[in-house]
Amino acid sequence: MIEKTIMTQNKATEMETDLPVNQQQLDLAKQAAADNSAARVEVNRLTHPIITFQTNRFCKRFCRENKYRYVCTLVEPKGVHLRDAVLCEWGNASYAWMLDDLTSPGRLRQFSGKNGARLNDYIYYIANSLPFYERWKDWRFGRKVNVPTYIKEMFPEASKIFFALRAGENIPAIAQKLARSEQPVEAMCQQIMITLTQRKRLHLLNPPTTMSLTDSRGRQQENQDLDGLQTDIPYYDESLELLESKQKLSQAWLQLTTVEQYIIEAMVLDNLDAVDVLFALQKMDISIKPGVAARDTNRQQLYYFRRKTLTKLAKLMKPL
């Protein structure tokens, strides 16, 4: 009797996971990738609520003094609108960047439609991923530096070591991040620096610099003596305890589902109201409770989901 029950459950699980390919959505993605105008319009329509929400989140997180100087162009504007102020460029520019990143031909061709997946589910997953957020920050702050191919091919950790060296991290910190001993990490660092020196590309490891505005001399004197300009190099050194905590959090974060990550980011990091989060979930038809449709989800269920996810994250960060 028990064996029969297990076989029935396994068969039901296989039927749930082995869904047919969503051919309609797959065709739409292929047509849009081939620059079919009607397909592009439909893809843009599906992507619009996702991009609008993420643009509001990302822009407001790094708005800083812009809200006092410019007129916000977001759907939900931020800041004081001065009569003579010009429009802020970052809202519309971020929208255009996200649209290009999420609906590029290469991105659409990767969509397979397996297990009945919809195209907007695929785009939603990418838009809520950490790599997407980091790419947007690279574009927003102009900090993008590509790791040379000949460095990537040296060893699996080469890219991580490259960025760590560029950030000015020391050998013990890099070794801890990679969970390796210091001796092999030091050897790999030396190998990377030797290779870059031989190819006359050692400048790629230069850390980001900030021009100081504390120099009181006038423009004319500065132009006559360019060597007098100050440069402040950001200080990146952190305690080993903080680095360890960040590493644990990063590893635990990756074990959360996309929806769990979204709820924590929206309600904890961005401190959004439950009404706004529920509206976004309904717009994208995302359910947080099995058997309960997105449109039927209430505030109590959302708060319970948030509390349960925070508890899960805390348990994942605890050592075994």
pLDDT bracket for residue 236 (50, 70, 90): very low
CATH number corresponding to 240-317: 1.10.10
- Give the right CATH number for 149-232 from 1.10.357, 1.10.10, 1.20.120, 3.30.70: 1.10.10
The residues spanned by each domain of the chain are 19-141, 149-232, 240-317
Task: Flag the least confident range among 33-42, 117-126, 167-176.
Answer: 167-176
Average of per-residue pLDDT across 82-105: 84
Residue 65 exposed, middle or buried by CB count within 10 Å (0-12, 13-18, 19+): exposed
**Which pLDDT value is given to residue 224?**
46
Separation of alpha carbons 191 and 200, rounded Å: 14
Query: Which is more confidently placed, 320 or 93?
Result: 93
Q: What are phi and psi of 232, to 5 degrees?
A: -105, 120
Which of 141, 127, 131, 144 has the alpha carbon at shortest distance from 57? 127
Tell me: the pLDDT tens digits for 205-223? 776 544 333 344 444 444 4
Average of per-residue pLDDT across 149-176: 86
Separation of alpha carbons 136 and 241, rounded Å: 29
**Which pLDDT value is given to residue 46?**
92
Task: Flag the least confident range among 2-16, 26-40, 67-81.
Answer: 2-16
Which of 245, 215, 248, 241 has the alpha carbon at shortest distance from 316? 248
Same fold: 149-232 with 240-317: yes
Count of CB atoms situated within 10 Å of the CB of 195: 16
Tell me: the pLDDT tens digits for 115-134? 888 998 999 999 998 888 88
